[in-house]
Structure 1
Amino acid sequence: MEVPMNSAQTGAHFPVQHRSLSLDIKGNKTDIVISKYEDTFLVIVTQIGCMGSILAAKKDESVFSDPTYNVTVLFGKRDEPLLLACARQLIEHISGSGSARSLVISLGLTDHSQGTLKDIIAAVIENRLW
């Protein structure tokens, strides 16, 4: 069953708290789903109708130094530094808001430009669940 995604929605029936939205970014229809699990946020962003590169990001804390952020590509394009930067900015925002959850993000994009990724980051932050 396909659910229309016309505007931001917060899931009421799905057992995981989530929000889904569809918007136009630089002329491309972009669907975003943000899900909040016990220890992880899952963000799926697609312009191609399926999942793309999957990245994991987490905050690593040390008693002896400032926190660092670890971003790894689990699947997909490993030569796209802007995808890594996108995941890093989101995990920094999540951690800066006081959440200890990690992030898994899927980016299935036709446009990998800096402007597109900035708009995606802004849309995810605006519709955040943290």
Structure 2
Amino acid sequence: MISASMGSSTVPAKKLALKINGIDTDVVLCAYDDHFLVIVTQIGAMGTILHARKEEGVSINPTFTVSVIFGKRDEPMVVACARQLIEHVSNCGSSRPLVLSLGLKDHSMETLKGIVSAVIENRLW
């Protein structure tokens, strides 16, 4: 695994190059003032882009919304990946929404679990 901080930017960011489920995978994490951005690609392109956020309300139990902005809308595991990440963001005390881009060759559960683990291990929240 290669990890580098992109230091010259005013936006805190990390870039990772790793193998997930045997496939070369690039990950970029950015912490903007109003959103977190996570880009994961195995194809060198953005792929499906999702927006995930915690709904603010009076309910004791938090509600999370995940929507596909661009790309494949019929992949429940991709939505589940975004939901796990926004729940983790929220559990760590941040209320910022998440924009997640997944450009994947492999959409298996093992790959998506590996992505969630890698992002959480290298989180910026």
TM range, smaller chain: over 0.9
The structure 1 segments of at least 4 consecutive aligned residues displaced by more than 6 Å after TM superposition are: none
Aligned position for 1:8: 3
**Who is 1:120 aligned against?**
115
Percent sequence identity over aligned pairs: 58
Q: Give 1:110's match in structure 2, choosing from 90, 98, 105.
A: 105
- Structure 1 gaps, min length 5: 1-5
Structure 2 equivalent of residue 46 of structure 1: 41
> What RMSD over aligned residues (CA atoms) do the two structures have, in Å?
1.0
Task: Kindly indicate whether the alpha-carbon contact (under 8 Å) linking 1:8 and 1:127 is maintained by their aligned counterparts in 2.
Answer: no
SS in 1 for 2:89: helix
* Residue 81 of structure 1 pairs with residue 76 of structure 2: yes
**What is the alpha-carbon distance in structure 1 between the residues aligned to residue 41 and residue 96 of structure 2?**
22
Task: State the one-letter code of the partner of 2:46.
Answer: M
Q: TM-score w.r.t. structure 1 length?
A: 0.93
Cα shift at 1:10: 1.7
| Residue 23 in structure 1 maps to residue 15 in structure 2 | no
* 1:68-99 per-position Cα deviation (integer Å, ceiling 9, x unaligned): 00000000000000000000000000000000
1:71 to 62, 66, 75: 66
Q: CA deviation at 1:65?
A: 4.4
Say whether residues 1:91 and 2:95 are aligned partners.
no
Gaps of at least 5 residues in structure 2 are none
1:3 paired residue number:
none
- Number of residue pairs the alignment of both structures matches: 125
CA distance in 2 between counterparts of 1:64 and 1:18 reads: 33
Superposed CA deviations along residues 13-72 of structure 1, whole A, max 9, x for unmatched, are 022110000001112100000000001000000000010000000000211442200000
Which whole-Å CA distance do the structure 2 matches of 1:14 and 1:7 have between them?
A: 19
- The answer on whether the counterparts of 1:23 and 1:29 sit within 8 Å (CA) in structure 2 is yes
